[in-house]
């Protein structure tokens, strides 16, 4: 029996009660906590930065999955490490020297994740797939929570699974955007290992219970 990891995104939490929402996730069955950093340059929105993440990290009892939607993410590898993050996800589109960034992340003892925007083909990862710990597919255009899932991601997930198998990569497939009760089982079926869910979890009356619902729906 396999169940995907669930990584609730704090982007949809109540920023006036962040510690409370982190505690709720600590008490839930979730696997990672997903932190969305936006710089207003790589994406058309600004979320939160290191001082806020440090506060979240102090309360968090789950591994942190830091998703950097910023230009020049290589400048922040050590700061992400200092948070105690388990995963550092950088965008393919933001890294000219992706191989170097991936090595820097691994040298700091974190799992190296590379994220693809909806228009970026999985085939561009062919030469680096074997070095990666996580490949994250954006199933919405990054920048905002609560957007509609891009259906094409299901086929893209299947193609990514084939590419990882063909290149001998053991990377986990993570999906970010529009994950909910309807899309989560389809993504799991297509080969996803980790599902990020923001509005589906924090928009629910009982966020911790929603994590359980998503897990149950995806268990196969």
Query: Has 65 been annotated as catalytic?
Result: no
Q: Which residue is nearest to Zn ion (CB)?
A: 67
Length of the chain: 220
Nearest CB to Zn ion, comparing residues 49 and 167: 49
Decide if residue 65 touches Zn ion (CB under 5 A): no
CA distance 208 to 134: 25
d(CA 74, CA 77) in angstroms, rounded, equals 6
- Is the CB of 39 or the CB of 108 nearer to ligand DX5? 39
155 is catalytic: no
- Measured between alpha carbons, how far apart are the two ends of the chain, in Å? 6
Alpha helices in the chain (DSSP H): 18-26, 50-59, 77-82, 98-107, 152-166, 183-190, 199-202, 207-218
Q: Which of 31, 36, 133, 193 is catalytic?
A: 36
113 binds ligand DX5 (CB under 6 A): no
Which of residues 4 and 142 has its CB atom nearest to ligand DX5 in the complex?
Answer: 142
Site string for ligand DX5, 49-88 (x = CB under 6 A): ------------------x---------------------
Count of Cβ atoms closer than 10 Å to residue 143 Cβ: 17
Tokens of 1: 């029996």
176 C-beta neighbours (distance < 10 Å), count: 25
Residue with tokens 């806020």: 52
Using CB under 6 A, which of 6, 32, 34, 211 touches ligand DX5? 34
147 binding ligand DX5? (CB under 6 A): yes
Question: Among 20-28, 62-70, 127-135, 201-209, which window interacts with Zn ion (CB under 5 A)?
Answer: 62-70
Active site residues: 36, 176
């Amino acid at each position: 029996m396999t169940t995907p990891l669930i990584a609730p995104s704090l982007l949809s939490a109540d920023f006036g009660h962040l510690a409370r929402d982190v505690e709720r996730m600590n008490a839930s069955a979730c696997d990672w906590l997903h932190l969305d950093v936006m710089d207003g340059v790589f994406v058309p929105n600004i979320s939160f930065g290191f001082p806020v993440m440090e506060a979240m990290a102090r309360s968090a009892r789950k591994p942190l999955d830091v998703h950097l939607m910023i230009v020049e993410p290589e400048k922040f590898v050590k700061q992400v490490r200092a948070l105690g993050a388990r995963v550092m996800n950088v965008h393919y589109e933001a890294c000219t020297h992706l191989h170097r960034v991936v090595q820097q992340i691994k040298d700091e003892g974190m799992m190296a994740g590379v994220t693809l925007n909806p228009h970026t083909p999985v085939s561009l990862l062919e030469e680096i797939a074997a070095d990666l710990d996580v490949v994250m597919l954006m199933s919405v255009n990054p920048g905002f929570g609560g957007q509609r899932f891009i259906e094409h991601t299901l086929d893209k997930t299947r193609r990514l699974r084939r590419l990882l198998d063909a290149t001998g990569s053991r990377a986990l497939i993570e999906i970010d955007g529009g994950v909910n009760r309807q899309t989560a089982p389809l993504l799991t079926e297509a080969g996803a290992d980790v599902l990020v869910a923001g509005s589906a979890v924090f928009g629910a009356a009982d966020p911790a219970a929603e994590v359980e619902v998503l897990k149950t729906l995806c268990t196969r």
